[in-house]
Amino acid sequence: MTERPVLWSAAITIAVSAFVGVALLSATSPTGIVVGLIAVIAWPVATILLRLDRWRTGAAFAVLGMLSGALAGGPSGGLSLVPAAVCAMLLIARLELPVWLGSTVAGIGVVLVCGGIALLAPNLGVSAMLTMSLGLSVGVLGGFVRRTTRLSALAAEKAREERMLARETEGRIALARDLHDVLAHSLGGLTVQLDAIDALLEAGRIDEARTRATEARRLAAHGLADARTAVAALREPALQEADTDPAAGIEELIRAHRSLGGVVTVSVHGASRAVPDMIATAVVRAVQESLSNARRHAPGASVALDLDWRNDRVVMRVTTPLPAEPQPRGGGYGLTGMRERFESLPFGGSVQADARDGEFQVVAEAALMTRPGEKGGR
């Protein structure tokens, strides 16, 4: 709830309290006038101090206004209950003050209302006690309503901040995932090419080294373009909503893998077709990561790439022989990123990776539409 400016609020409070104070002077009981005026003065002072974040002093004046107004309720003809009710509302509504403080003081106030009538205005009777106690309880109820409203506003703000933090975290993870995929492929390939160039130069095979250098330059340019595309997709996601056929990207990865000395056999079932960009990107990145892992962990081994295009999904399967010697494990972000990417697809997806019978196999599956009975559009 938006707070009014302090000066404007103070002016209104002073004006209303002055009006109540003038009306209070017409009371027949001197005790009611004196004690009631204490409540009238404490009311605006407490309001201003609390708006200035002077919680302890403001609360002290609010307690004074509440108790003195309640005590003078009967002798003042109920006029002093106005500042008493407002002070009760201030004590309870402020989140900076413990709720038990306002509730306890309000309870004491009800006792003082009844005691003030019994001792200072016995002619009013029980009905007046009930009526004035009810009037005081209106302020208490108003305080709880305002406190609940403020708590709801804080909860909504916290939820909004958590959503923003989640979006920022998701963006950072997506950027890290894309850059990992691009850099693992490009830099890994460049390392292989540069090692080959160095060996060819030592052997005096200049023409072959020049060919390798051309491939290295092509690989670096392709990696830079991929990095720019990844960043652009995060900055302007709306531009990535068109359907895309992943075939060209997969063909380029296969060509690059073979140029780096890798061996890959490709089997395609069904016809490749344009799919939502998120799905196309996930499939291309999965192939890219799988081929990069094959070069890193099983260099020179033959890789089997199988793509199965079905009506409602596409399944990618990459199989690589396990190396004879155990290879050092990496950070594990590649497969983790692949799983995150497929699990966040609009119609769902999954990734399974395991080693068995001397082979390491990665199976990535992306749904192309929502199955009957399932909810789509995650």
Domain assignment of residue 249, yes or no: yes
Residue 332 pLDDT: 56
CA 50/CA 53 separation, integer angstroms: 5
Domain assignment of residue 214, yes or no: no
| Same-domain check for residues 129 and 16 | yes
Domain assignment of residue 272, yes or no: yes
Residue 2 pLDDT: 44
Residue 306 pLDDT: 93
pLDDT in tens, 196-253: 677 777 777 887 777 777 777 777 777 677 667 666 666 665 445 567 888 888 888 8
Indicate the residue among 128, 143, 161 that finishes a domain. 161
Domain assignment of residue 291, yes or no: yes
CA 211/CA 197 separation, integer angstroms: 9
Indicate the residue among 161, 185, 208 that finishes a domain. 161
Residue 308 pLDDT: 92
Which pair of tokens denotes residue 58? 């403001």
| Same-domain check for residues 48 and 148 | yes
List, as own/partner pairs, every contact residues 34-37 make where C-beta atoms lie below 8 angstroms and the sequence separation is at least 24, other chains included. Answer: 35/68, 35/71, 35/72, 35/75, 35/76, 35/80, 36/68, 36/69, 36/72, 36/75, 36/76, 36/79, 36/80
Do 295 and 262 form a contact (C-beta atoms < 8 A)? Answer: yes
| Same-domain check for residues 127 and 35 | yes
Domain assignment of residue 196, yes or no: no
Residue 317 pLDDT: 92
| Same-domain check for residues 18 and 152 | yes
Which pair of tokens denotes residue 337? 């990123």
CA 10/CA 368 separation, integer angstroms: 63
- In the block, tokens 């998701």 appear at 170
Domain assignment of residue 155, yes or no: yes
| Same-domain check for residues 153 and 248 | no
Residue 294 pLDDT: 81
| Same-domain check for residues 253 and 109 | no
Do 184 and 292 form a contact (C-beta atoms < 8 A)? Answer: yes
241 burial class (0-12, 13-18, 19+ CB within 10 angstroms)? Answer: exposed
| Same-domain check for residues 151 and 290 | no
Domain assignment of residue 181, yes or no: no
Written as tens digits, the pLDDT of the chain (378 aa) is 444 556 776 777 777 777 777 777 776 678 778 888 888 888 888 888 888 888 889 889 889 988 888 888 888 878 888 888 888 998 898 888 888 888 888 888 888 888 888 787 777 778 778 888 888 888 889 889 999 998 898 888 888 888 877 776 666 666 666 666 666 666 666 676 677 677 777 777 887 777 777 777 777 777 677 667 666 666 665 445 567 888 888 888 888 888 777 788 999 998 888 888 888 888 888 888 888 888 777 777 888 999 999 988 999 999 988 876 655 555 556 777 788 888 888 888 898 888 887 888 999 999 887 654 555 444
| Same-domain check for residues 155 and 291 | no
Q: Residue 292's domain is classified under what CATH number?
A: 3.30.565.10
- pTM of this structure: 0.52
State how many domains the chain has: 2
pLDDT in tens, 53-106: 888 898 898 899 888 888 888 888 788 888 888 889 988 988 888 888 888 888
Indicate the residue among 161, 190, 216 that finishes a domain. 161
**Parent domain of 366:** 244-378
Residue 309 pLDDT: 92
Domain assignment of residue 237, yes or no: no
Q: How many CB atoms lie within 10 A of CB 29?
A: 16
| Same-domain check for residues 12 and 153 | yes
